[in-house]
Amino acid sequence: MQKNNLVILIHGLHQTAWIMRPLAKRLQTTGLKTHQYGYRSMRDGIKTNSARLNTWLEANHHPDQPIDLVGHSLGGLIIRNFVAQHPKWQIGRCVTLGTPHNGSISGDYIWRLAPAIIGKSYEQALDGTVAPLPKGIELGVIAGNKAQGLGQPILAYHNRKLRKADVETPSENLAHDGTVYISETKLISATDHIILPVTHTGMLVNKEVAEQTIHFLQNGQFKHEIHKP
């Protein structure tokens, strides 16, 4: 990543662009230029929202200038769809924060019980069917293991079901950030993966998450001497 790369920050489900501002400000202190991309996470599907990002870039950014992408939760899946569907852009590096790359169990429960809460973000995204990561894309994945948040009751219920059914599941596979399991964040094609003691939403205002994001954008890897998975 060069310092003149534009870093695009993409929020998650039920959020707006302003929630990425604390992270944006920390990136800006290192001289990075940022843009907080806002989209309709429930009314529009992932392909529509990544296409609108492409339209914004066509109007505001030159294709010869590389961009970096940072996405929280569903925003990370938009990144994956965007880099797959719009290859004309020069992608520097990407970082996802609490993104369920393999699909969301909590999202699946909500989809079946009350689909209106999830909206169009489930299909081709939270259901685990988002486009594969193209070759050559450097992706760093940050996961949290502090189990607090609105999704905690759902995941606690799911964990109890697994134990009751005597499903042999390693304890590390039951860890989550209150919304997303750590196992759901892991992607074989990712460049690096790190686990930090943060919640799903709390990671957006966490100083260490910001530092690790900056480090990956600059170096293509995380600082694993701080917290090893």
pLDDT at position 200 over 80: yes
The structure tokens listed for 197 are 């003691």
Which domains can be identified in the chain, with CATH numbers?
6-219 (3.40.50.1820)
CA distance 114 to 110: 5
Confidence of residue 43 (pLDDT cuts 50, 70, 90): confident
Confidence (pLDDT) at 74: 95
Nearest to 212 by CA among 225, 201, 199: 225
Confidence of residue 228 (pLDDT cuts 50, 70, 90): very low
Confidence (pLDDT) at 222: 97
pLDDT tens-digit map of 126-178: 888 999 999 999 999 999 999 887 666 776 666 666 666 666 665 666 888 98
By residue count, the chain amounts to 229
Mean pLDDT of the chain: 89
Confidence (pLDDT) at 164: 61
pLDDT tens-digit map of 100-125: 999 988 887 777 777 888 887 878 78
pLDDT tens-digit map of 50-66: 999 999 999 999 999 99
pLDDT tens-digit map of 69-89: 999 999 999 999 999 999 999
Arithmetic mean of pLDDT, 41-51: 92
- pTM score, two decimals? 0.90
Confidence of residue 227 (pLDDT cuts 50, 70, 90): very low
Confidence (pLDDT) at 119: 81
pLDDT at position 229 over 60: no
Confidence (pLDDT) at 161: 65
Confidence (pLDDT) at 101: 97
Confidence (pLDDT) at 178: 87
CA distance 58 to 45: 20
Confidence (pLDDT) at 118: 83
